[in-house]
Every structure is written in C-alpha cells, then in structure tokens.
Amino acid sequence: MSDLDTATAALVDAVRHGRPSLVDVALEVGASAASQGVPLAEALDRVAAAYGDRDPDFVTVRAVVDAWMGSATQFVIDASCHDPLTALGTVPHLRSRLDDVYRQAAHRDWEVATTHALVVVELGRRRPGYAPGAALEDALGALEVSHALCTVFPAHDALARVASDRFVALTAREDTDAVGVALLAKVLAETLSDQPEPRIWVEWLPESVDGLAWLLSRLAAPS
C-alpha cells in the first residue's frame, strides 16, 4: 500500500469517527499525493469519497490543498509537459501540439488559421484585500476551469494552463462558434458561482508557425 493509500485510509477513519486528528491526516493526504505525483484533483476526489454523501469540511479541503501545494515544489512532475495542479498541459506542451498541427497542415495542404483556434479562459480578478482562503478558492477555480474545458471541448487537440489565471483549449475552429463559447460560459457560471466572472475569448491562429512565439508569449504574460 502506498503512502497516499495509507493516508487516505486514515482520513476515511478520521471522518467516520470524528477524530480530532482529522486536519493532520488531511495534511498527510495532500503531502503524500504531491510527493507521488498525484494531481490535486485526484487528492480532492479522495477527500470527497471519504465524506461520502456529505460535503467535505472546508478546513479539511484547505489542509489537503495547502499540503499539496507546499510539497509540490519539492519534486518535478514532468514540468515541461504538465501543470501539476490541474494536470493540463503547459505552454511548452501547447507549443508542441501546435507545431504538430502546423506540420500536418503543411503536409495536407490546409491552412491552420481556417481549421483551428484557441479558446481562452481567464479567471476574474478579485477585489484588493479579499478574504483569507482565497488562494484555496483560486486553486479550486483552476480545477473547475479545467473540468469545464474538458466537458465543452471533448474533441480538443490540447488543453493547457498558460498562466496562473489563464487557460487555453486548442480545438477545431467550428467548435469555437457562439454556441460553443456560450456553453462554456454557462458551465463556468454554474461551477464558479462564488467567484468573479471569468473572461472568455477566441484567439485566431496565425497563418504561419512563425507567428506562434509572439501569440503564446502574450497569452502567458501576467494579466
């Protein structure tokens, strides 16, 4: 049994019997998940399963997130390819997928600018001085955006987190019409109900691969 499995079993026991060590056990779940390269979303799924039909306590969820984020900096999870928080791709991964698309287009004589596009989601900005616990809410918001993009664009070529608050889906241009964007906005409104409204827009791709560096650097720049 792995350390994470042991910690999860201990969490189930602590929840079931209302043990005072619940927060300590939750910290172990988060730290164990991070050390084993398990995404935060999966660690939170284990917390939800431990609580069964009840909503997990905020202090438990926060303990798992804090421990995961604190431990995640101590190891590398193929950092060039995947964001450890959301399991989405990173900018290098997105660039690699885009290079593949442009190569295929050149071979098959299409124009990428007419076949693909990027759908971008940027989390809404909070007011200065927002309440403690907002870092946790931001992390959970990132997970919700990841889930929404996967739901609305199931046939995507790539999903990536390109900045701390910005997410991208590389998908067929026909899926980026008003209907697709409206559906994404609806899903996000339902899942991010307690957070500022996110911004959603479509980025058209350049005609040539030479224009990608400028586009991706702009998307990856802090908002």
Say yes or no: 40 and 148 in one domain. no
Q: At 72, is the pLDDT very low, low, confident or very high (cuts 50, 70, 90)?
A: low
Interval 17-64: pLDDT, tens: 888 888 999 999 988 887 776 778 888 989 999 999 889 989 999 899
Residue 79 above 50 pLDDT? no
Whether residues 197 and 135 fall in one domain: yes
Question: Can you give the pLDDT at residue 132?
Answer: 42
3-state secondary structure the chain: CCHHHHHHHHHHHHHHHCCCCHHHHHHHHHHHHHHCCCCHHHHHHHHHHHHCCCCCCHHHHHHHHHHHHHHHCCCCCCCCCECCCCCCECHHHHHHHHHHHHHHHHHHCCCHHHHEEEEEEECCCCCCCCCCCHHHHHHHHHHHHHHHHHHHCCCCCEEEEEECCEEEEEEEHHHHCHHHHHHHHHHHHHHCCCCCCCEEEEEECCCCHHHHHHHHHHHHCCC
Question: Residue 61 has what pLDDT?
Answer: 92
* Number of domains comprising the chain: 2
Nearest to 68 by CA among 139, 133, 165, 123: 139
Mean pLDDT within 143-152: 89
**Pick from 41-45, 120-124, 125-129, 171-175: least confident:** 125-129
- 207 and 99 part of one domain: yes
Choosing from 72, 99, 122, the residue where a domain stops is 72
pLDDT more than 70, % of the chain: 86
What's the mean pLDDT in 160-182? 91
Considering the domain architecture, whether residues 203 and 129 belong to the same structural domain is answered as: yes
**Which is higher by pLDDT, 205 or 221?**
205
Q: Looking at the domain assignment, is residue 211 inside a domain?
A: yes
Range of the domain at 143: 91-220
* Domain identity same for 116 and 204: yes
Instruction: Note whether 102 and 180 are same-domain residues.
Output: yes
Q: Which of 18, 43, 72 is the last residue of a domain?
A: 72
pLDDT at 90 over 70: yes
151 and 209 belong to one structural domain: yes
pLDDT score at 26: 92
Flag whether pLDDT at 77 surpasses 50.
no
Is pLDDT of 75 > 60? no
